[in-house]
Amino acid sequence: MSKIHPLTLQDLSLIKAYLRRYPPQISELTFTNLFVWRTSRPIFVADIEDTLILLADFRQDGWWAFGPPLGKLSLLTAVQRLGMDIKGFTRIPEDTAKTLRAEGLNVIPDRDNADYVYRISDLADLAGAKYHKKRNLIKQCLQKYQCQYEEINLKNIPECIAMQDQWCTIRECGRNPGLCHEYNAIRDAFTYFELFNLIGGAIRENGFIKAYALGEELAPNTAVWHFEKAMPDIQGLGQLINQWFSLKALRGFYFVNREQDLGIAGLRQAKESYYPHHMVEKFAAIMPSAGMKNLQLPDPKECDRHTIVPE
């Protein structure tokens, strides 16, 4: 256990260096994602034999290796080097899952955490009949409201936070543990916006910021879209921030990973309505010593985000 420590800001350069050498596929593997969700999903870090391995402490459920290893060692070998008793592996991509299956582990598809990946051009252009409803909502929004796009920077971040506070008041975040966790994650994302090299866009209407989106680079040609919020009293604003952020902030990328739906029916429908180019499938794998009796995979709806994407 001496090789393992809780994730802190001091790990930023270490983790980003590994991610540059081993560009990730899954949305969880940015320092931003790992750090801002640490209160609801504690992450621990081990750097051994030129390999970075992440572990999640799901409290009552125990230790799970989180995501694939970054480095020379295989995931199973890296965990064995640590000498830890872990339940299994979660949020692992298909190639890692195949390796673990070949080692005799029980591998389970994790559809609720599969990532939706879109072409930037599809989200920015909304071309074709399948996007007619979204284009119509955007048109109505622009006809009724005076909307202006602007980049997020240190000057307007306080306004974005104030908007998030208003959104949470309307949505009663205090009554929903998932939204409370998300609120804390968003506040951290704004607090460390420059340090984490995030990309942000906002929409101002009648002098006030009423929508925003936050993302960053995931891999050389792929961005990851972390958060998006729009005030619910302006119809079509959600679709507008979606299009404008893609058009004005993400044109330097070819794809954008818009993360998972967590098995939430409305969120799945909304993400599917934007017609993903492909999915990044994820899996969990159970260590033989853990057995299957009474063993449950960590529940993503208890430990992750509840972002709602407009249909």
Beta strand pairing status for 63-66 and 88-93? parallel
Q: Give the C-alpha distances (Å, rounded to integers) separating 129 from 36, 75, 109, 125, 273.
A: 38, 45, 33, 12, 12
pTM of the full predicted structure?
Answer: 0.92
Q: Are 4-113+281-303 and 115-272 equal in CATH topology?
A: yes
The architecture (CATH level 2) of 115-272 comes to 3-Layer(aba) Sandwich (3.40)
**CA dist., res. 61 & res. 308, Å (int):** 27
Which stretches within 192-307 are classed as H helix?
237-249, 265-272, 300-303
Q: Which residues pair with 226 in a beta bridge?
A: none
Which one, of 300, 59, 91, lies nearest residue 178 by Cα?
A: 300
**What pLDDT shows up at residue 44?**
96
What is the pLDDT tens value at each position of the chain, 311 positions in all?
448 999 999 999 999 999 999 999 999 999 999 999 998 899 999 999 999 999 998 766 678 999 999 999 988 889 888 888 888 999 999 999 999 999 889 999 999 999 999 999 999 999 999 999 999 999 999 999 999 999 999 999 999 999 999 999 999 998 999 999 999 999 999 999 999 999 999 999 999 999 999 999 999 999 999 999 999 999 999 999 999 999 999 999 999 999 999 999 999 999 999 999 999 999 999 988 654 444 455 554 444 444 444 45
Return the pLDDT at 310.
47
pLDDT for residue 294: 42
What are all long-range contacts of 97-100, with beta carbons under 8 Å and residues at least 24 apart? 97/283, 97/285, 99/74, 99/75, 100/75, 100/76, 100/285
User: Pairing state of beta strands 255-257 and 115-119?
Assistant: antiparallel
237 in Cβ contact with 231 (< 8 Å): yes
**Residue 293: what pLDDT?**
42
Question: Which structure tokens are listed for 262?
Answer: 């967590």
The terminus-to-terminus CA distance of the chain in angstroms comes to: 46
Q: Which residues are bridge partners to 55 per DSSP? A: 44, 65
Quick one: pLDDT at residue 303? 42
The predicted structure's pLDDT at residue 292: 45
pLDDT, tens digit, 9 for 90 and up, residues 209-261? 999 999 999 999 999 999 999 999 999 999 999 999 999 999 999 999 999 99
Distance CA 135, CA 202 (A): 19
Residue 297: the pLDDT is: 54
pLDDT at 298: 55
Domain ranges of the chain: 4-113+281-303, 115-272
Predicted pLDDT of residue 164: 98
Within 13 Å and on the Cβ side, how many CA atoms surround 270? 19
Tell me which CATH homologous superfamily contains domain 4-113+281-303: Gcn5-related N-acetyltransferase (GNAT) (3.40.630.30)
Mean pLDDT of the chain: 91
Using CA atoms, how far apart are residues 196 and 187, in angstroms rounded to an integer? 13
Residue 309: how many CA atoms within 13 Å on its side-chain side? Answer: 24
Residues 241/243/247/250 CA torsion (nearest 10 deg): 70
Q: How far out from the chain centre does Cα 285 lie?
A: 21
Residue 290 confidence (pLDDT): 57
* Cβ atoms of residues 271 and 256 within 8 Å: no
DSSP 8-state class, residue 304: S
Q: Which helix (H) or strand (E) holds 34?
A: helix 31-36
Residue 306 has a pLDDT of 43
